[in-house]
Structures are given as structure tokens and as C-alpha cells.
Structure 1
Amino acid sequence: MRLLENNIQSYDFFIEKENMRDEIIRGLSSQVKTISPKYLYDHRGSELFELITQLDEYYPTRTEMKIFNGKIEEITEAVGDVHTLIEYGSGSSNKIKALLHNFSTLKEYVPIDISRDFLFQSSLELAMQFPHITIKAVCGDYTAPLTLPLEENGKKVIFFPGSTIGNFEPMEARSFIMKSAQLLNEGDGFLIGVDTKKDIQTLEKAYDDAKGVTAAFNLNLLTRMNREIGADFDLSQFEHLAFYNEEKGRIEMHLESQCNQIVKIGGHQFIFQEGETIHTENSYKYSIKEFQTIAIECGFVPSKVWTDDTGNFSVHYLQK
């Protein structure tokens, strides 16, 4: 633990590059080449994602914020008195401010994020705005086992905005929600944003914007691989590809090879055929009923759900 300010502490579960390198090599060695979406979020990737959230085409962030701004009193009443708020993937923390302002009984906020610089920068900004709340910034992978610095007394609520749950395969999502339930006691809660199913054009434009910001975000993954694990990707020979897989109910993001080529990482060689892709991210979309069914299977009781007027996004409060 490191004390950064009077009301902020940092806990650093550093991800060794050797572990990242091994995971990337395994993914590129599989029959369908993949890289985990968590590696999209280095400092530059996090900056680019923040730009994505401001695009006209990218409705999830804007719509979720509209729900929070319009329904914050209902959300506050449904959640009740909170002592500890845990946030998965805190990013720039724009959405958390509405909760920190309105949860009057809140004593500690525990943001968890894989991007160290981004996490600590946003935590320091929040510490100055909310000096009465103890902030425990945890740098780590929230999908991996972590020992969180939580106080035992008082109600705990997990906050997981942005429909990031859609990045998990359905079975992984269930496992993740079950593990989250294990952090909580009876009466605690889970406040989570979930993107809904809608017309294909709206979905695909959200992940392939006209300005090419999402393309830059996806390609930045290869820049990171070159910098951090010694890969030799030629970014000019890969292009961003995003489409809706209606059968599986998910947006898929890929990096498509534009020619026959070989990529090296240390002593490993990976052969790419023209048109072959690296699958970098999924974003599953769920109807309200579909997601509530999953929540029940994972040990939660659906308490309340809020949507925008068009039903483009949903925010669920689940009780343990």
C-alpha cells in the first residue's frame, strides 16, 4: 500500500510483462488468433477509448450517463445506504461522480483498473473533489483473483458501468458475476450497465466510426505489443474490422491482415494469410430478460432496472 494523499491509498498488483507475453503467444497460436481485450487499455488505449465515448456514433456511454443523470434519485433510493463502493474498470471516472455526489453515507471508494497511470490520475482528481471519502486505488486485473482492501463493516456495492460485461463470453460472464457475488454479503448489491439488442446499423456504426477513432484504438493494441513484448507487427498491413454477429448476439472486433505475412515475437513466428484476423474483442448485447435470468443463476435477485426512452441501454441493480 502507498499513501498518495490524505484520503487516497494505492494498491499495485503489477501485471508482469512476461505473463502478458505468454498470454499473447498462446492467443496467437490458437486456431483462431485472439488477443484479450484487456490489453487494449494501456495509457494510450484508455485515452482513445475516452475519445470513442464522445463520438456521435457511440451511444452506450452517452445513453448510460443520461440514465444516471435522469434517474439518480431512484438509483440512490434503490441502492440505499452504502459504506463501500467498488468499481471495476474505473477509466476516467466520469460516471462515478454522480454516485459519489449522491451516496451520502459512502465512506470508501475502491476503483480497480489495469491502466496504472490512468487509474491513479483519475483517483487523485476524485480525492480532491471528495475529501471525505477514502479512495483505495487498486491497479490490477479485476478478472483475476485479487485481495481487495475492504472494510468488513457496512454495506458494499459493486459498480460495473459501460456494458463491459458484454466483453465476456456468456459462460465467462456467469463465472465473473458469481465471483463478484462472493465478494458480497447478504444485503449488498451490484449496479451494472448492460447494452441491449437493437438494429444492426446502429450497433455497427458504434464500433466503426467515421473518424476512425475506434480503428486507432484497435490498432494501438499492435503498437503496444511491439513496444512491450518485442513484436514486429507492421501496422500498415492490418485494418480494423467490426461487425454484428446476429446468431451470437454480439459485436465482434478484429484486426484483419491485408497480405500474407509473418509476425515475430522473440523466437516465435506467426503466419498470417491475407484476410486472416486477430479477434480482439466481443461485445455481447442482452435483452433485459436475458440478463436478469443470468443474474438469478449467479445468486442475485434483480431489484430494479432503468432504461432510456428508446430502450438502447439498461442499468440493473441486483441484490445479494
Structure 2
Amino acid sequence: MTNYLDFEKPLAEIEGKAEELRALARQSEGMDVEDEAKALDKKAADMLADMYKSLTPWRKCQVARHPDRPHCRDYIDALFTEFTPLAGDRNFADDLAVMGGMARLGDRPVVLIGHEKGHDTKSRIERNFGMARPEGYRKAVRLMQLADRFNLPVITLVDTAGAYPGKGAEERGQSEAIARSTEACLSIGVPLVSVIIGEGGSGGAVAFASANRVAMLEHSVYSVISPEGCASILWKDSEKMREAAEALRLTAQDLTKLGVCDRIIPEPLGGAHRARPDTITRVGTVIEEMLGELSGMSRKDLIANRRRKFLDIGSKGLAA
């Protein structure tokens, strides 16, 4: 069953009518409705193409948050072999919002780290909707240090509304854990590539995405704060999230101009959730390309390349 976003309601009506016609034909022998159903399919396809031709930043936020969008677990299952999860931060606990471990991408051994939001109510609660606690970021630091020790490339998959802001997380040093994770990203002497597969929210995303190469799916978003949070602060009205989304320049297209994003991964028409296997394949191809660009670079050059990238962010897009 397709989950439709608010702006897709007209599309839902047309696709629903086509399905109703086909269901009626299945129940009534001799009824031929295929021509009418195909006409509705054509109308729906044209409407879908028109909708996604020029999505507003706020609509891109909605697409990036779609519950059926592929999550970290889906990419691990489809792209990687021999995945061995490594749990815990060796300090407090294991954070299920962060998945990590060793795996193979083709014949290449890698260390993989990513946010996992969950796919149903139970798993979303267990995973805390992808919002990591301090132990999640400390687990990531441990894995990055492991990768550095054994000279393994690091791949991070970012999909979080932001780090968890709860009382317990703050008591256990949330900001310090995020800073340590960001520091580890900038300090390891192995290739580090990151893909924003959904939401990239605030420091919770930067802690995984301070990489040599950062790619974004076409309809993903990456921002210092959510549009709702920005609107609440600036206008004292969370309903102004559309205006905030425009001002934040959080789309992949805007962030490529600013130098935050290195490349955009095209999504299938209608978003990643409408063709999950195709999306996952495209992401895998880009990850391999980015790792290929970094192969052969020395530890010193990898670290210098990464730091220079972040020092240069915004310099070519401020006048845009």
C-alpha cells in the first residue's frame, strides 16, 4: 500500500480510481475496463512527473522523511556482504539508533556506520527514530578508530532529524560526544565518504558527514535545524516551516552550490520510496566511485583534503 504525502493527494485519488476499476473487473466477468484504467495510469504518471519536476524545499523535506524511504538497514542488506555488527561504546551502552560494523562492498573491506530510523512502530521506538544518544556517537568514534588502525575505508549513511535532545543524553555529554565524533571524522587517515540518504539534521548529521566526499540523494535535505524548529525560533510559529525551508537552503541542489555536497544522486521519479531497489543501486554505484577517487591517497593527503573541503564550504556560493 502506497503512503501518499499531503501534496500527493490528487495523485492518490487518480491511482485509487484506476485500482478500483481493476478490482471491479476482477469481480465481474466480461467487464473490460483496461482502456479506462490505462488512461488513468497515464494521467497519474503525468501528474507525478509534473509534481516532482520542481519540488519546493518544504516538499523535499516531506519526501526525505517519507516512512517508506530506504533506510540504513536496507542499504546494508542490499549492497554489503559479510556485515558484522559491532555494538556498544565500551562506556555506557549500545545505541540502536546507530548501526555500525565491518562489511564488504564488492571485494573491498570497509567499516560502515549509519543512522537507522526503523520501519514500523516497534522498531522506530527501539531505534529512537534515528536520533542518536551520546553512546551512539562514541560507538561511531570507536569504529572510526578501528578503521584507522586497520587501514579500512569508512562509509557513513546519514538519516537523522538530529541528535537526541533528552535529559539523559545531555547528562551523559551529548555535545561532547558529537564533537568527538566530528573530530574523529576529520582526523582519521583513511578514506571517508558519506551519503545523506534522507534527513541530515544539525550536529547529529555533521558528526558522521565530515567526510572527504559527501553525496546527497536528490530529494534529501541537510540543515543546521529543521524547518519547524527554525520557524519556532525566528517567527515563534512552527507553521511557517515553508518559509523557513526556503531560507535554510537545505536542498541537495543548494548545498552543491555552497560546496557542502559534492554530488547529487538522482532518485527515481516520485522519490526513493517508489523504486527502492533502483535507489539503493544508484547509491552503491556512487559510493564505489567516491572511494575510487580517494584510493591511492596518502594518510596525510586524505586528512588535508578533508579539512580543506570544510574550510572552503560556502566560499563559492555566498553570492548565489
The answer, yes or no, to whether TM exceeds 0.5 is no
TM-score normalised over the length of structure 1: 0.29
